[in-house]
Structure 1
Amino acid sequence: MPNNPKVHYIPANPPKREKRVGIYCRVSTNSLEQLQSLTAQVSHLTRLTAAVPQWLLSDVYMDIATSKTGSSRKEFNRMLEDCKSHKLEIVITKDVSRFGRDTVEVLDAFNQLKALGVRVIFEGNSLDTANTSSDLMVAVIESIAQAENESRSENIKWGIKQRAAEGTSKLYDRKCYGYKHNEDGHLVIDEETAKNVKLIYDLYLSGQSVVGIIKELAKRKIFSPKGKENWNKRSIEWILSNEKYTGNVELLKSSKSEVHYLASGSHPAIISKEVFEAVQIEKTQRSNVVKGEDGIKRKSEKYSSKKMK
């Protein structure tokens, strides 16, 4: 009997990696947290690409937006050029938001790649142009982008409220006429302009109308906050209504019955609370609008400082 032949195991040739893949990652700032997020994105999508035998990682494109460059997408544009040169057949990114700041920008990027015949995968959203119709993809992108924008808006509002509640909001130190910032960014009295604020309050309580105050300031050659020779009525009325001059700051106050915050003594006062309240009472008395049981009515005569003389 013939000897049994030796049998050699010959494995099948591994599939050729022929689909060229580009990974696109983007973060909105260059903070440490965002850079760590960028690293995580690249690492995750690289492993995902390596797990598919037919895929060949061709390049990684990373955009980092900063306060200087804004929404610069230099790497995204380089990726588009590579797609046009047929260097890429598949583009993978973490989610829809990485393609742009808003729906218009995202759809524009998507349509450009679609026109080039490039397959796009939004891994985090489980969206793949290979198995999703274009119309459905557009609809899903729009809904996801809208949801993310709403979520981002809510997060911003929450952050503003949280900082206001903790007393750490920079809005408490927003500069206005009569104040300046010290080295730490906190409000301190600007003596040169603070005396003009006091003068405006004194003139009003002495019987001067807003127009009369404007004339008096022009006569004394006191320039407006914007450096103009003549003040406008709105500037005078704003100064006479701004509680900030008493050392208090109210944040998030609106006509709606929502929570708002009052920081008492957050900075030095230019006007005493008594003087401020006296001006508010005087303004109400001078107003030609009267609220009564029958609604809002107007007085037959307007206030005139001439009658005070």
Structure 2
Amino acid sequence: MYLEISNPMDYRVALYIRLSKEDESEEPSQSVQNQESLLREFVQQHRLSVYDTYIDDGWSGTSFDRPAFQRMIADIEAKKVNMVITKDLSRLGRDYIMTGHYMERYFPEHRVRYISLLDGIDTGVDSTANDITPFRAIMNDMYAKDISKKIKSVKRDKQRKGQFIGGKPVYGYKMHPTEKNKIVIDEEVAPIVRWIFSLALSGMSCRNIAALLNQERVPTPATYAGLPVAKPGPYTGLWSSERVSQMLQNETYIGNMVQGHSVKISYKSKKCLKQDPANWVVVEGTHEPLVDLETFQKVRMLVNSRKYTRSRTYDFLLKGLIFCHECGYPLAVLNRKNTKGEDVLYFVCRTYQRFTKADKVE
């Protein structure tokens, strides 16, 4: 707390506070209230004017896409803020690359003075504390990586024990009212799941089942769960043959817990990679089945018997560059013969192709 501000009237201060879920298990001094108390004590001692306080409670330091942080950046861009104060460097972030970007490039370019109280960092003066800042950032990053490994190990262990660790159970199930990490049948939509399996067992295709569900105005799993839609389109809220096919082959409906469909690329990224089914974590007999094993196996055989691979003997230069004006997805190209028997390439929207008969059953 030895930092000195010689010209306090020149600064409009942003107090930035961050607390991640992992930090909640640390010492009480990491709490939001104590961080704010420490920062306000500092600004009062140095007669600084606080423009606003920015609090990201429950946000990881490995990502800078935090609401309060982005609001602070917007105020910096608008020249409303020219000083940022945090309790320590890890509150700013734990990704050493992005932390270095803001400290070494962004803040100086926008004439913002950054102060980290407990680390003694002050970009407004030359000091040895500033010189070792990159090393502090790397240590904070390593801490985040270690925490990520521990959390991943715990989750993997729960998966192997057949405990549900996802956000929402599959359609037809809900969380147990009293037992944690356990799912039970959702009697409200369970009849719909059984109906879908009975339709498939009778020989109806996934496409026609989806069309019938849409005709009967049955809410989709996403709609029923109340999940937000990132990019609503003309076919949002409709069943598709892919959705039906996935349900008919999901072993969760015979009482097996199936998890690990995807894995995060890195502890710094939210992007996930789909896993090969061979790498999924499947534990048998963890909950009450919705469908008997014999029915499930017969339906799976019927679904797989309809699969075929379409050979592509052509390519086109505009692949991935032309998008559907309605749904926003890339247009595909089909090779069809015209009345003269000549091969002609046609652009087609796969989304429209999937839902074009959504209002009627063939």
TM-score range relative to shorter protein: 0.5 to 0.7
Q: Paired residue for 1:223?
A: 218
Larger radius of gyration: 1
Structure 1 position 28 matched with structure 2 position 17: no
Q: Say if 2:171 is the partner of 1:161.
A: no
Of 196, 200, 223, the residue aligned with 1:200 is: 196
Offset at residue 278 of structure 1 (A): 1.9
Tell me the TM-score normalised to structure 2 length.
0.49
Secondary structure at the aligned position of 1:250 is classed as strand
Query: How many angstroms does 1:120 deviate by?
Result: 5.7
8 Å CA contact 1:250–1:261 kept in 2: the answer is yes
Mark the CA change 1:148 to 1:113 in structure 2 (over 3 Å): closer, same or farther: farther
Letter in 1 for 2:296: F
Greater length-normalized contact order (CA 8 Å, ≥ 6 residues apart): 2
Query: How far apart are the structure 2 equivalents of 1:192 and 1:20?
Result: 64
CA distance, structure 2, for counterparts of residue 239 and residue 85 of structure 1: 52
- Higher mean C-alpha displacement, 249-258 vs 141-150: 141-150
1:273 paired with 2:293, answer yes
The answer (yes or no) to whether the contact 1:29–1:64 under 8 Å persists in 2 is no
Query: Match of 2:331?
Result: none
Query: Could you list the runs of 5+ residues in structure 2 that have no partner in the other structure?
Result: 7-14, 39-44, 60-65, 225-235, 262-274, 311-362
Aligned to 1:246: 254
Deviation, structure 1 residue 145: 6.1
Residues 113, 120 of structure 1: 8 Å contact kept: no
How many angstroms apart in 1 are the aligned matches of 2:238 and 2:146? 45
| Residue 234 of structure 2 is aligned to residue 234 of structure 1 | no
Deviation of 1:245 (Å):
0.8
Structure with greater helix percent = 1
Instruction: Give the partner amino acid of 1:158.
Output: S
The verdict on how the C-alpha distance between 1:218 and 1:133 changes in structure 2, with shifts beyond 3 A counting, is: closer
- How many Å separate the matches in 2 of 1:166 and 1:19? 56
1:177 aligns with 2:171: yes
Aligned length: 246
Is 1:190 the equivalent of 2:186?
yes
Q: Which amino acid aligns with 1:233?
A: S
Contact 1:25 1:93 in 2 (8 A): yes
Question: Corresponding residue for 1:286?
Answer: 306
- Percent identity, aligned pairs only, is 21
How big is the shift at 1:282? 2.3
Alignment of 1:136-151 (within 5 A): 147-148=142-143, 150-151=145-146
Q: Output the CA distance in 1 between the equivalents of 2:98 and 2:254.
A: 46
Structure 1 residues 119, 224: CA separation in 2 closer, same or farther (over 3 Å shift)? Answer: closer
Shift of 1:266: 2.6
Whichever residue aligns with residue 161 of structure 1, its letter is R
| TM-score relative to the length of structure 1 | 0.55
